[in-house]
Amino acid sequence: MKADLHIHTYYSYDSTASPKEIIKAAVKKGIGCLAVCDHGQIKGALETIEYAKDKPILIIPGIEIKSKEGDVLGLNIREIIPSKMSARETIERIKALGGLAVIPHPFGWSCSFRGNLEKLVSENTEELAIEIFNASIFSSGNKKAAEIVKKYNLAFTCGSDSHFPGFIGKAYLEIPGVNLSIAEAVQAIKNRSCSAHGSQTSFFEKVIDHTKRNLVKFKDLI
């Protein structure tokens, strides 16, 4: 099963993607699983789950939380987790809610994790995953993330970080099996039985994508 584990809907301040558009694009590209992780919101995930009920795709509800040190994804989360806690506290809250914590784009050019990542992962190797392939970031951040995962034998995820339907599936995790449940998909990630796949988007594609995000973000100020 191909799983794009980091996408956004129009409930994120920098996206215009509707659940209908997301599902249509994912199914067309052969993506069998999406994790909807809006910034500080779960409405997009819950709406996408409802829309996908009769579609051949699994939706994992999630959220992207802004901790003091940087962004943290919570997979299989169905309630809002507040921002501005420490990364450690954020991870603990995700775990308490039965979810899986993921550090996304830890070495992204403008969205890097600002805390001591190696200390954090060394203390939480069984309850934390690292996003090793994010299709939207600039620089060599994905390579550095993969090196951390290898060094500490961590679980890992991949995601397009799509804010618009056209980017969906640019990066995905291949999970063994078909017709998996959310619990089975998450457990496969924890078991480290998955593999990373996707295409390296060009610098030009990334510039266009981030420009569109900024236009959406600041549209009310123009």
Q: Structural domain boundaries of the chain? A: 2-221
Six token digits for residue 144: 């550095």
Strands of the 128-134 sheet, one edge to the other: 155-159, 128-134, 100-103, 71-75, 58-66, 33-39, 2-7, 171-174, 195-198
Q: How far is CA 45 from CA 35, 76, 143, in A?
A: 8, 10, 29
Three-state SS annotation for the chain = CEEEEEECCCCCCCCCCCHHHHHHHHHHCCCCEEEEEEECCCHHHHHHHHHCCCCCCEEEEEEEEECCCCEEEEECCCCCCCCCCCHHHHHHHHHHCCCEEEECCCCCCCCCCCCCHHHHHHHCCCCEEEEEEECCCCCCHHHHHHHHHHHHCCEEEEECCECCHHHCCCEEEECCCCCCCHHHHHHHHHCCCCEEEECCCCHHHHHHHHHHHHHHHCHHHC
pLDDT for 222: 42
Specify the range with the lowest mean pLDDT, choosing from 57-66, 117-126, 180-189: 117-126
23 or 124, which is more confident: 23
CB atoms within 10 A of CB 216: 17
Residue of 43, 50, 51 whose CA lies nearest to 78:
43
Specify the range with the lowest mean pLDDT, choosing from 43-57, 72-86, 171-185, 187-201: 187-201
Whether 23 and 51 have beta carbons less than 8 Å apart is answered as: yes
123 or 119, which is more confident: 119
pLDDT tens string 156-204: 999 999 999 999 999 999 999 999 999 999 999 999 999 999 877 776 5
pLDDT tens string 204-214: 576 677 677 77
What is the topology classification, in CATH, of domain 2-221? Answer: TIM Barrel (3.20.20)
CA distance 14 to 214: 7
pLDDT for 109: 74
Burial letters 155-187, b for 16+ CB under 10 A, else e: bbbbbbbbbbbbbbbbbbbbbeeeebebeebbe
